[in-house]
Every structure is written in structure tokens, then in C-alpha cells.
């Protein structure tokens, strides 16, 4: 492998890793607060892609309007799902709420198949994102280049939000102890909705960045990336945002290099093996907090 090719793969890996990181944040934040694996998150990500097709192809809106519509619609979708499917089960056993999340995922996939048919649909091209640029001998599209920058920017803003604002403090409190924070006068439902807003916002951005260099969208397009991002979140320690970002980058990079080495069939196998290994060696992930079990 030449140095140039190596750098090229690094860039691709970091780019895909950045997208995984954006989606993994959605998983990790919801898990941190609700202790729920939001199985529907990958499908929200898929729906965001269809929203884009809808607004750019069916309504022929310009891309800058479409991006705003996509973000808005995805956030509304996420919050509605939370209100309808997760809120009624707040006091139910954890298994029920997980089943509800699986049900939502199943529902979204079927709705997408119904509305948009199971055939892959071409994703609209956003002019300036698909331009090719050449930096120091590596030629790549703009989207590959700006993805990691955007990711790190959003993560920085998010960390500021969580560490230095009132709602951020409330979120930290709720994730530490659900009931006590309620007693302290934190409006739990508002905090949870806000978590979903952030998660879906990042999923919408991730969806635009993920599908732009890819040819098409189909109703099951969200389930595998969704699972990988969840693995990224687990790898970094679920509940921890820097962990999710690091996990995303590691999975993106390793996947790209495995593909480059000619084992593209096994790149997903590797990801899942990574998950099982990390769960066995360090179940709380790289940055996860240790949970002590009380009798």
C-alpha cells in the first residue's frame, strides 16, 4: 500500500467514522437517560434520507431549504415516537420498552416500504457536496472531507451545551439518577424530549452526509448502519459522548481498512466480533461508568 493510498483510506475511514459518531451520539444519549437501546434510531436515520428525496425530488426544493426541512421533519418524527411509543411505558419493565423500540423499528420499515416501495431510490445530489477536490495528491469529494470537521464541530457544541447550560445540567442529573432528579424539580419529560431532539438532529445531519456519496436509499438501509453505530456507542462506553465519537471513528477506520485489504465480506463480522470482545473484556466500554448492582 502506497503512502498516498494509505492516506486516502484514512480519510475515507475518518469520514465514515464521523457519520457513525454522529448517529452513535443519538444512541448513547438516549441510553444514558432512558436506559433504552433505541432500536428505531437507525430507521429514523433512514426516514431522514427519504425526507430528503421527498423534498428535493418530489417538491424540487433547493438543497438549503431541503436540509432545513429534513432536519425539522426528523426531529418531529423522533419526538412523536418518544411521546407515543416510549412515554407510556416509562414505569414498565425494561424488556417491554425494548420490545416497543423494536416494534417502532419494524413499523418505520414497513411504512417506508409502503410509502416509497421496497425498490432502491436514487438519493438526490447536493451540488457543492459532490464536487471533487484534490489536497496534496489525494482527490476526494467535498463531503468526505467536511464530514469529520462537521462532526467534531457538532460534538464540541454538544459538549459545551451539556457541560455549561442549565438543560445540559438537567440531562446529566437525569442520567445519573432518574427518580432523584425528578424529586429535585427537573421536568423529566422535557429533558427526554430534548435528548431526542439532539439525537434526531444529529441523525438527520448524519443521514445527509452518509447518503450523499452513496447511490440509493431503500427501507432497510438504516438497520445495519444503526447496529454499527450502536456498537460504536457500546465500544466507547454507553452514556459517554466522547466515547461514542471515539468508537465511531475506530469502527469507521477499521471497517475501511478491512475492506481495503480485500475482506469486504467480513467487515461487518469484524464489527460484531469487536462488540462481543469488548463486552467480554470491559462490559462498560472504554469510557463507561461502572454500574454497581444493588440487591
Instruction: Give the binding site for other proteins (CB under 8 A).
Output: 35, 37, 85, 88-89, 92, 94-96, 98-100, 102-107, 109-111, 113-114, 117-118, 220, 223, 227, 230-231, 234, 265-266, 268-269, 272-273, 275-276, 279-280, 283, 295
If the CB atoms of residues 188 and 227 are measured against other proteins, the closer one turns out to be 227
CA 153 to chain centre: 16
How would you write 57-96 as a 3-class SS string? HHCCCCHHHHHHHHHHHHHHHHHHHHHHHHHHHCCCCHHH
Q: Which is nearer to other proteins, 4 or 117 (CB)?
A: 117
Question: How far, in Å, CA of 32 to CA of 243, rounded?
Answer: 12
Question: Grid coordinates standing for 7?
Answer: 492516506
Neighbours of 18 (CB within 10 A): 26
Least distance from C-beta 187 to other proteins, angstroms?
23
Residues 107, 137: Cα–Cα separation, whole Å: 46
Residue (60 or 91) nearer to other proteins, CB: 91
1 or 273: CB nearest other proteins: 273
Alpha-carbon distance values, 105 to 57, 112, 187 (Å): 25, 11, 27
Least gap, CB of 102 to other proteins (angstroms): 6
Query: CB of residue 227 vs other proteins: minimum separation in angstroms?
Result: 7
Q: From CA 146, how far away is CA 142, in angstroms rounded? A: 6
* 23: nearest Cα among 46, 2, 6, 57: 46
Residue whose C-alpha cell reads 473484556 in the numeric block: 281
Query: CA dist 53 to 60, 79, 80, 218, Å?
Result: 9, 21, 21, 11
Q: How far is the CB of 263 from other proteins (least distance, A)?
A: 9
Instruction: Rank residues 186 and 231 by Cβ distance to other proteins and give the closer one.
Output: 231
- Cβ proximity to other proteins: between 100 and 212 the closer is 100
Q: How far is the CB of 215 from other proteins (least distance, A)?
A: 20
| Residue 159 beta carbon to other proteins: minimum distance, rounded to whole angstroms | 25
> What minimum distance in Å lies between the beta carbon of 237 and other proteins?
12
Return the number of the residue (109 or 207) whose C-beta is nearest other proteins. Answer: 109
Amino acid at each position: 500500500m502506497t503512502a498516498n493510498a494509505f492516506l486516502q483510506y484514512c480519510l475515507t475511514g475518518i469520514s465514515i467514522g464521523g457519520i457513525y459518531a454522529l448517529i452513535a451520539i443519538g444512541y448513547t444519549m438516549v441510553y444514558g437517560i432512558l436506559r433504552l437501546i433505541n432500536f428505531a434510531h437507525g430507521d429514523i436515520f433512514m426516514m431522514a434520507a427519504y425526507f430528503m428525496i421527498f423534498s428535493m425530488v418530489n417538491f424540487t426544493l433547493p438543497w438549503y431549504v431541503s436540509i432545513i426541512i429534513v432536519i425539522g421533519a426528523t426531529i418531529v418524527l423522533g419526538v412523536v415516537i418518544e411521546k407515543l411509543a416510549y412515554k407510556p411505558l416509562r414505569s414498565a419493565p425494561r424488556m417491554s420498552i425494548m420490545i416497543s423500540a423494536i416494534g417502532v423499528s419494524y413499523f418505520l420499515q414497513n411504512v417506508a416500504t409502503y410509502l416509497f416501495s421496497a425498490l432502491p431510490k436514487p438519493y438526490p445530489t447536493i451540488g457543492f457536496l459532490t464536487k471533487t477536490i484534490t489536497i496534496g495528491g489525494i482527490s476526494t469529494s467535498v463531503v468526505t472531507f467536511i464530514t469529520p470537521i462537521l462532526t467534531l464541530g457538532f460534538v464540541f457544541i454538544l459538549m459545551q451545551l451539556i457541560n455549561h447550560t442549565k438543560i445540559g445540567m438537567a440531562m446529566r442529573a437525569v442520567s445519573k439518577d432518574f427518580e432523584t432528579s425528578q424529586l429535585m424539580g427537573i421536568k423529566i419529560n422535557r429533558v427526554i424530549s430534548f435528548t431526542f431532539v439532539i439525537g434526531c438532529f444529529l441523525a438527520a445531519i448524519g443521514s445527509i452526509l452518509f447518503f450523499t456519496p452513496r447511490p440509493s436509499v431503500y427501507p432497510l438501509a438504516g438497520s445495519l448502519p444503526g447496529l454499527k453505530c450502536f456498537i460504536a456507542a457500546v465500544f466507547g462506553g454507553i452514556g459517554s459522548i466522547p466515547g461514542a465519537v471515539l468508537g465511531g471513528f475506530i469502527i469507521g477506520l477499521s471497517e475501511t481498512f478491512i475492506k481495503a485489504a480485500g475482506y469486504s465480506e467480513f467487515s461487518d463480522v469484524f464489527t460484531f466480533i469487536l462488540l462481543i470482545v469488548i463486552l467480554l473484556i470491559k462490559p462498560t466500554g472504554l469510557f463507561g461508568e461502572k454500574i454497581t448492582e444493588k440487591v
